[in-house]
């Protein structure tokens, strides 16, 4: 297909497609004449992948470039290529809030407590420490008390993710599955978490307000609101 059709098929404007080719995100089309190139289904899919990583996953052009380089690399060790891809999609720490040494210890304790095979200085451990230190800095340090609930939920999600990756796992598509599953999976998780919040909040606060109790107090004490506990 010509570039106009590729653009119609994917909803990506022609100048943007050309930009992605220049930036090395999208392979150039096959030249059919000196000023005309032909594209195929692999370009359609790749463009959708690029836009998904950017629009849904919030990745920048330069991170997408790094990620796709890992996806395209002829793999030496699966674990190593996965590591490179995971490194590229791990948000880098911008500013270091106060109190990091103590929070880092807490994160390392959590990793030990759960028996996870993770280096305590993994970039995501650092990202976690920054988030928890930020909670502390604004007076919400007790958020740390529910970190194990998050960890248990994430063990379940990671098991489902790995099983899904396993079902896809032609070695060829493995790295791409991991990248896509991680980046788009974050968006899925965030959206579903908000839906679950709406449900839990509707049950708790509407009850509290209907019953005439002070909203905050009702929420604080209603430990066993229907539908939020024990699932």
The footprint of a copy of itself on residues 96-155 (CB under 8 A) is 97, 111, 114-118, 122, 124-125, 127-128, 130-132, 134-135, 137-140, 142-143, 145-147, 149-155
Distance of alpha carbon 185 from alpha carbon 183, whole angstroms: 5
Would you count residue 14 as binding a copy of itself (CB under 8 A)?
no
Nearest approach, Cβ of 29 to a copy of itself (angstroms)? 19
Distance, in Å, from the CA atom of 25 to the CA atom of 39, rounded to the nearest integer, reads 14
User: In this structure, what are the phi and psi dihedrals at residue 230, rounded to the nearest 5 degrees?
Assistant: 70, 5
- Tell me the closest approach of the beta carbon of residue 78 to a copy of itself, in angstroms: 4
C-beta closer to a copy of itself: residue 35 or 171: 171
Q: How far is the CB of 33 from a copy of itself (least distance, A)?
A: 30
31 versus 61: smaller Cβ distance to a copy of itself? 61
Residue ranges in 186-205 that form contacts with a copy of itself under rule CB under 8 A: 186-205
Report the alpha-carbon distance of residue 127 to residue 114 in Å, rounded: 18
Min dist. Cβ of residue 49 to a copy of itself (A)? 5
Q: How far is the CB of 32 from a copy of itself (least distance, A)?
A: 26
> Which range in 15-23, 29-37, 66-74, 215-223 contacts a copy of itself by CB under 8 A?
215-223
Where in the chain does DSSP place strands (E)?
30-33, 36-38
Distance between CA atoms of 79 and 60, rounded to whole angstroms? 24
Is 108 strand, coil or helix? helix
User: Is beta strand 30-33 parallel, antiparallel or unpaired with respect to 36-38?
Assistant: antiparallel
DSSP single-letter state for residue 31: E
- Between CA 64 and CA 62 the distance in angstroms is 5
d(CA 143, CA 150): 11
Which residues, numbered 33-72, are part of the site for a copy of itself (CB under 8 A)?
45, 48-49, 51-52, 55-56, 58
Residues of this chain, 159-178, that bind a copy of itself according to CB under 8 A: 159-171, 174, 177-178
């Amino acid at each position: 297909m010509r570039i106009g059709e590729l653009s119609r098929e994917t909803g990506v404007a022609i100048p943007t497609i050309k930009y992605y080719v220049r930036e090395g995100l999208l392979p150039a089309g096959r030249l059919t004449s000196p000023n005309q190139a032909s594209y195929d289904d692999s370009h359609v899919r790749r463009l959708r992948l690029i836009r998904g990583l950017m629009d849904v996953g919030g990745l920048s052009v330069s991170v997408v470039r790094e990620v796709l380089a890992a996806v395209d690399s002829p793999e030496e060790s699966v674990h190593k290529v996965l590591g490179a891809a995971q490194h590229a999609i791990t948000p880098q720490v911008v500013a270091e809030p106060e109190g990091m040494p103590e929070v880092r210890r807490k994160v390392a304790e959590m990793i030990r407590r759960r028996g996870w095979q993770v280096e305590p200085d993994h970039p995501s451990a650092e990202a976690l420490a920054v988030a928890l230190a930020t909670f502390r800095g604004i007076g919400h340090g007790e958020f740390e008390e529910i970190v194990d609930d998050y960890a248990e939920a994430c063990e379940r999600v990671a098991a489902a993710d790995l099983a899904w990756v396993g079902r896809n796992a032609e070695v060829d598509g493995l790295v791409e599955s991991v990248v896509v599953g991680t980046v788009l999976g974050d968006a899925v998780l965030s959206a579903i978490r908000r839906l679950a919040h709406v449900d839990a909040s509707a049950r708790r606060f509407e009850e509290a307000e209907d019953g005439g109790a002070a909203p905050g107090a009702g929420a604080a004490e209603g430990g066993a609101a229907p539908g939020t506990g024990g699932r």
